[in-house]
Amino acid sequence: MQTTDETTRDQQPDVPALDLPPEPALDLDLVRAQYHPDATYLNTAGFGVLPARAADAVRIAVDTMAAGRPLDALFADVEEARASFARIAGVPVARVAAGASVAVYGGLVAASLPPGAEVLTAENDFSSTVNPFHVRGDLRVRVVPLDTLAESVRPGTALVAVSAAQSADGRVADLAALREATRAHGARLYVDASQAAGWYPLDEHAADADYVSAVAYKWLSCPRGTAFFVGPEDPDELRPVFGGYVSGEVPMDSCYGPVTEPARSGRRFDEAPSLLAYTAARQSLALIEELGTAAVRAHDLALADRFRTGLAALGHTPVPSPGSPIVSVPRLGAKAAEMRADGIEVADRAGHLRAAFHLYNTPEDVDRLLAALSH
């Protein structure tokens, strides 16, 4: 005699299995060949680990400088890094500027707004993202919770400025909803992708934003001193208020007096590059491209989910941040110093213990952190 469950199964029609593409696999051999952190390093949201190929390139560049040889190859590294970031972001290279700070590019965007313009930002977003709009003094900056940002766009909102992923706790902004809301109200969208570029599918969103900035020394594994800005398709929409000679169409013809011919691309918003940093960045970005952002994302999120599951078993509830490799645990921030003494690098942010899982981390790293937290 059939049971009820068996009868139900027999009566159901055949349903073809979904032919879903497999999650892309990270090339772990390549990762192990390039990354050699001394500790259990779980603080990529602070800064990323430099791959071996980038460190090697800097050593060669230092020798070049010390020998007084021409620096043409180092300037070429800037252009290769710019092109690599453009591919990662899914935007034309003509929209990309190379610089050193998202605060500078936030200031550039802020300078483009008329007096009295309304700027909408998220509560407790990173200061480099929002401070340039506050210091203008003549803008109306409205601050709302992150999860109400899209619904808070209204007629008269000139700009929404937001981090794609929050630094303090990893929460991910709904950029699709923000793009829809800003278009509906004629507002512009400025996205700081510093905590996203390198693991987040930026290529699905950057082209739809009016402006995107990102430091590259976190999830893109570049050194400090590297940042990128995706400007408007028509560079004339922004004034290059900090433009020096590198912002000229022909930089070496723009060294004296005013720059009479600004670059006809995003390069008009370049800062003078830190050459050693960009020599490393060329190698780091090429490695991210080789590994593939989708594979990095799948790897990072699997580790973060493993950590969340382990936290639940220990009775801890992290800040909800689905789809993020950043996990923040309230009231445990003080333990970050203890973790460092045990050879585990995490961060204390806003009183929370923040762990950030990236391509060079392993399940054993997660388990080591959980074991330390269980004591």
Judge whether 312 lies within some domain: yes
CA angle (179, 185, 191) in 5-degree steps: 35
Statement to judge: residues 243 and 351 lie in one domain = no
Asked whether residue 62 is domain-assigned, the answer is: yes
Give the relative orientation of helices 293-314 and 275-291 as an angle to the nearest 10 degrees. 80
Containing structural domain, residue 369: 28-50+292-373
Q: Residue 19: inside a domain, yes or no?
A: no
Shared domain for 339 and 267, answered yes or no, is no
Q: How high is the pLDDT of residue 1?
A: 34
- What is the spatial distance between Cα 354 and Cα 170, in angstroms, rounded to a whole number? 9
Look at residue 159 and give its three-state secondary structure.
strand
- Which pLDDT value is given to residue 265? 97
- If one counts the domains in the chain, the total is 2
- Asked whether residue 20 is domain-assigned, the answer is no
Query: Tokens for 63?
Result: 């020798």
263 and 342 share a domain?
no
Task: Give the residue-averaged pLDDT of 86-103.
Answer: 97
> Does residue 7 lie in a domain region?
no
Say how far apart CA 208 and CA 147 lie, in whole Å.
20
Residue 215 has pLDDT above 80, yes or no: yes
Q: Examine the fold and report which residue of 263, 290, 317 is the final residue of a domain before the chain moves on.
A: 290
Residue 142 lies in a domain: yes
pLDDT digits 0-9 by tens, 16-75: 444 556 778 999 999 999 999 999 999 999 999 999 999 999 999 999 999 999 999 999
Residue 310: band (very low, low, confident or very high) from pLDDT cuts 50, 70, 90 = very high
Is residue 9 domain-resident?
no
> How many CB atoms neighbour CB 93 within 10 A?
16
Report the pLDDT value the prediction gives residue 9, as an integer from 0 to 100: 34
Q: Are residues 75 and 149 in the same domain?
A: yes
Q: What residues have CB less than 8 Å from 106, skipping those under 6 apart?
A: 128, 129, 130, 131, 132, 133, 161, 190, 192, 213
Give yes or no: residues 238 and 204 share one domain: yes
- The rounded percent of the chain whose pLDDT value lies above 90 is 92
Identify whether residues 228 and 281 lie together within a single domain: yes
13: in domain: no
What is the rounded distance in angstroms from the CA atom of residue 198 to the CA atom of residue 169? 18
DSSP state of 196: T
Q: How confident is the model at residue 11 (pLDDT cuts 50, 70, 90)?
A: very low
Mean pLDDT for the chain overall: 94
Residue with tokens 């390549």: 30
Helix ranges (DSSP H) in 12-71: 28-34, 52-66
**Residues recorded for the chain:** 375
Same domain, 87 and 36: no
Nearest Cα to 198, choosing from 51, 37, 354?
51
> What pLDDT is attached to residue 10?
37
pLDDT for residue 3: 37
CATH, residue 302: 3.90.1150.10
Q: Select from 247, 214, 210 the least CA-distant residue to 228.
A: 214
Which of the listed residues 290, 318, 343 is the one where a domain comes to its end? 290
The CATH number of whichever domain residue 101 belongs to comes to 3.40.640.10
Domain ends where: 290, 315, 338? 290
Regarding whether 323 and 217 lie in a shared domain, the answer is no
d(CA 264, CA 160): 26
- Do 222 and 247 lie in one domain? The reply is yes
Considering the domain architecture, whether residues 231 and 305 belong to the same structural domain is answered as no
Q: Which pLDDT value is given to residue 106?
A: 98
Average pLDDT over residues 199-212: 95
Q: What is the pLDDT of residues 114-159, one digit of tens each?
A: 999 999 999 999 999 999 999 999 999 999 999 999 999 999 999 9
Asked whether 134 and 156 are in contact (CB, 8 A), the reply is: no
Same structural domain, 280 and 359: no
pLDDT tens for residues 315-355?
A: 999 999 999 999 999 999 999 999 999 999 999 999 999 99
Sign of the CA dihedral with 159 first, then 163, 166, and 168 last: negative
**How many angstroms separate the CA atoms of 309 and 303, rounded?**
10
pLDDT digits (tens, 9 = 90+) for 156-188: 999 999 999 999 999 999 999 999 999 999 999
Instruction: Indicate whether 146 and 166 sit together in one domain.
Output: yes
